[in-house]
Chain A
């Protein structure tokens, strides 16, 4: 009898990129609803309600001496006797940090899921990068890529991933400054306390976080029966169940409880939590995260369930 689950090879980022772009084409552009936009000089699309560098008209004001003559708006100035300068609204870009957990457990794929968890996580990450880059946001990946604001941010992220593969565990976040958004994709199978101990300081630094938990259906439904030896792909630890079917209910209770606990704790931090299964479409998770990022309140209260 063939095993239900297996460990698969890491997915090439080129393939992931193409899949991610095809997913991203289905999703409208995403403008991050920045509550507190980082006070940067880099132009973006988030209006600051004050004069500054931007594209949109903000106000006409009288010309004061010392200003560059080139800034005079001659069309307006020709209407009366004063000379006016056209001010533009200060528009700043927002920084989104994307990160996917690629620990060995993410390589797992069961026969019930369509792809491995790692593959799905990368697809989600690159698709988010594509969507956000279309909106002009700055995309970064901690330890891999500094935030860039470019139309081809997804391609650049994929290239960077090729050179610097993601490692397991939670990212180093020292380089994250100011009020940024952080999207974490992973399976989060560690105990909830460990995860919260790691994420709590980030929240207190003012980062807004979005957590996508990618799970395989076999992990959730536990379709094993009979005498089965289970192996942990990260630690190599082995565990033999004499009759796997009798612990199915207990296991599922424990699994759901862990997910609920994690989701509850994250919401206490003000973060969002999106569980996702690899037998569902990646677009579902994308749409959910898209809504969270866009600040749509209706979806923000659905309790973390798919």
Chain B
């Protein structure tokens, strides 16, 4: 049959072609059947139906179509196959077979075996000895032997999940042949050139009489060479051998149980051998990736194993600052966020109330928790945080004014801190801002160059202890610790002694900050690499190995334990086949190909002898059967459509135009209705909230004591009237707040008269007040007894004690009496003190940082934000209180109406300060601004 370009697998079936004329006759005889109708007025119909159609024959082209269909089916059953194998073996020396059984051969291994078997059969016919070597095997027995033994060895060989070692195979062959030139040397190659050797040159050196290079299809030689976990997705690099056409390959990620959990694709451009693809999946899902494989490529190269090192950490961020996001550069979290976003997944709380947000954050199981300038946590959150640390969490804290003011017994700092901070430089200090010293050798920061240009101007100080230096990761040039740590349980606490924004030092705006945080995050891996450096090697037993089809199996065979040494990347070999090494708790992935390998085709240039290149048996032998069947099916479909059309099926389906219009209208109405449905998300109480938001309201805390509450209400009503009369601010009626239940966020200032007789607010209520202050609100505490305990040594009143009890659970910044250059003294009226019904107590506000850099002659000091807390003892409400006729309710002490006027003015200044912030302080710039505008 060699004179034909194809042979028929079932030539007998061609006899059925004889039946075609009979089929033709039958087809012509069978008309398409009309619908039979009795019709009495046939004569009338006959008069209008001019052309009488004869239904006895179908059209010739329909008959031809059906004939072709029948012929296609008969030919398809006869199964024509192109390209039968025709070559036979030539030469009279022994037949040498060099067979690649590397990973890339696993997909078409059976055909490789058939090809080799055909060659062995040819050798058997000519009675030639056969020598077989497999390149991926360890031991080679290349001694020429009988065809039978060669066939046995061929049957026993299997593709290995390894790269071939062709030099060893060729050497073995050379040794076995012992100088005799092989008659035919056939190299069944996987088509991939090894990086360091030219196998064709080595084979040509054997000087065979007939040199054949037999290659299979190259489209299965695709390997995943690398993968990287970035912020959005998993980036996968892949390489391929056949670079001719553009090709898009689907890739799938599997978890440890082999379930497919993410899909993506790698798109190779035409002519490109390397491409990148992405597997987009949520962070949690990406952590579960254990294996990435190219779909449809069941090879060890098309499979990429992942281990713990790929996982991104989840880092929770928490801040004590009450900064709004319009000033991000002042927020410590901003710098941490920018530093860590590329390396970790950051979670931030939705609520300002720490009693709620900390359990919420811990429930998301972060690897690391970063707290920036938090002095005091709600009491009930200490236990879960401690438990979390002991379970392996890493807590990173940054100092700041609040931490500096916090009591020394905080369990969540690694060292005992001195209260207050140390300022370096400035007007009151002899010392200069300090640079950083070299990182200690034990520190994880070791190896980073000593940072240049970083100056620390302010820090918190650790009490010296014996082991302080061993727990110091970074220190200043004068030896004071900058970063200290403590292991606690399985976890760790790390404290940066500077703040996370740029006020205390310029560390947060340097690259070292990023690197320090990144290394800290790397340490936070639970159960992974030990933190005490990687000096000592580690030996990992094989746990799961890849087979040649890219499947993980537990059979470890001859694989030997893998030595993990620092700085070296293990390479797969016959002793260490690709797979997972370690144990179920932790393992290291060893992949077949080194990172970022490129597959290159066999280089056959510069050979001394000619060679012939041929495909595998059946490689080009393709069957016409499927296409013939497909053609027959298409013709059948065409025929069915034609018959239906001729039978009038489409005409009977035709609908009246009116029905179509009605249908179209109905569809349009449906679309319109579904497109315009709006979600009703209103909630009960929305109208109350809107009423509160429409106008500014003054608010006071309902203490539970009737006369105090009535006085508060009347006092704020008096202030409201005063504000309406004197300023553009026209507040609504005052609002009494139940701090345990009401929403506080609508009010900029809450007046809280302290009464020792009132019930103590619950911890939850105080936590809400804490959150309110943290998110920008201000509470004005009034002890109403003239003698605030703060700073006074004249004993404390019951109200002061109650205030202390309340403040004990709040995270409050350092306080100071209102300095004369504070905005509060100038925000509306010029005031020197803030009297109420009494005139003896100062007004305490948050201490402003003394930067020392501002000129002393300025009338007002600028600051950022407003004080979250004000404390007075002057009983403001008592002075403001008026009855419904506008007459004062209580006399001032001493009885002086001027003092009442000043008390009102104090209230106006406080309200203006609350609503305008540091705007008045910026007024000092007006001359400069006008000058710049050219006026």
Contact = CB atoms under 8 A, between A and B. Distances in A.
The finding on whether chains A and B are genuine partners in a shared complex, rather than unrelated, reads yes
Interface of A: 1, 3-7, 105, 108, 187, 189-191, 216, 219, 224-235, 237, 239-245, 247, 250-251, 253-255, 258
Contacts of B42: 230-232, 235, 237, 239
B343 to A, nearest CB: 73
B44 A254 contact: yes
A233 B40 CA distance: 6
A225 B41 CA distance: 16
Given A226-B649, A241-B53, A243-B651, A1 B44 contact: no
A40 to B, nearest CB: 39
B39 interface: yes
B41 A240 contact: no
Interface string B25-52: 0000000101111111111111111001
B332 to A, nearest CB: 82
Contacts of B270: none
A230 B46 CA distance: 10
Given A225-B651, A227-B32, A233-B38, 12 more contacts: A1-B35, A6-B38, A108-B40, A190-B43, A219-B40, A228-B36, A228-B648, A230-B37, A231-B37, A234-B40, A242-B646, A258-B44
B647 interface: yes
A229 B32 CA distance: 11
Contacts, number: 110
Contact of A219 (B35, B41, B47, B652): B41
Contacts of A230: 37-39, 42, 45
A239 B35 contact: no
B447 interface: no
Contacts of A243: 648, 651
A190 B42 CA distance: 10
Contacts of B37: 3-5, 224, 228-231
Contacts of A1: 35, 652
Contacts of A251: 44-45, 48-49
Contacts of B39: 5, 219, 230-232, 239
A227 B48 contact: no
A7 B52 contact: no
A226 B41 contact: no
19 contacts: A1-B35, A3-B37, A3-B38, A108-B38, A108-B40, A216-B40, A225-B651, A227-B32, A227-B647, A228-B34, A228-B35, A228-B36, A230-B37, A230-B38, A230-B39, A230-B42, A231-B37, A233-B40, A237-B42
B55 interface: yes
Contacts of B34: 226-229, 240
A240 B32 CA distance: 12
Q: How large is the interface on B (under 10, 10 to 19, 20 to 34, 35 or more residues)?
A: 20 to 34
Contact of B648 (A5, A108, A227, A253): A227
A7 B48 contact: no
A108 B38 CA distance: 8
The 9 closest A-B pairs by CB, nearest first: A226-B648, A105-B40, A232-B42, A250-B48, A230-B39, A227-B34, A229-B34, A242-B53, A5-B38
Given A227-B35, A234-B40, A239 B45 contact: yes
Given A225-B651, A241-B49, A189 B44 contact: yes
A234 B41 CA distance: 10
A240 B48 contact: no
Nearest to A4: B37
A255 B41 contact: yes
A257 B54 CA distance: 28
Contacts of A3: 35-38
A231 B38 CA distance: 5
Nearest to A7: B38
Contacts of B649: 226
A240 B40 contact: no
B866 to A, nearest CB: 85
B44 A255 contact: yes
Contact of A231 (B32, B36, B48): B36
A225 B652 contact: yes
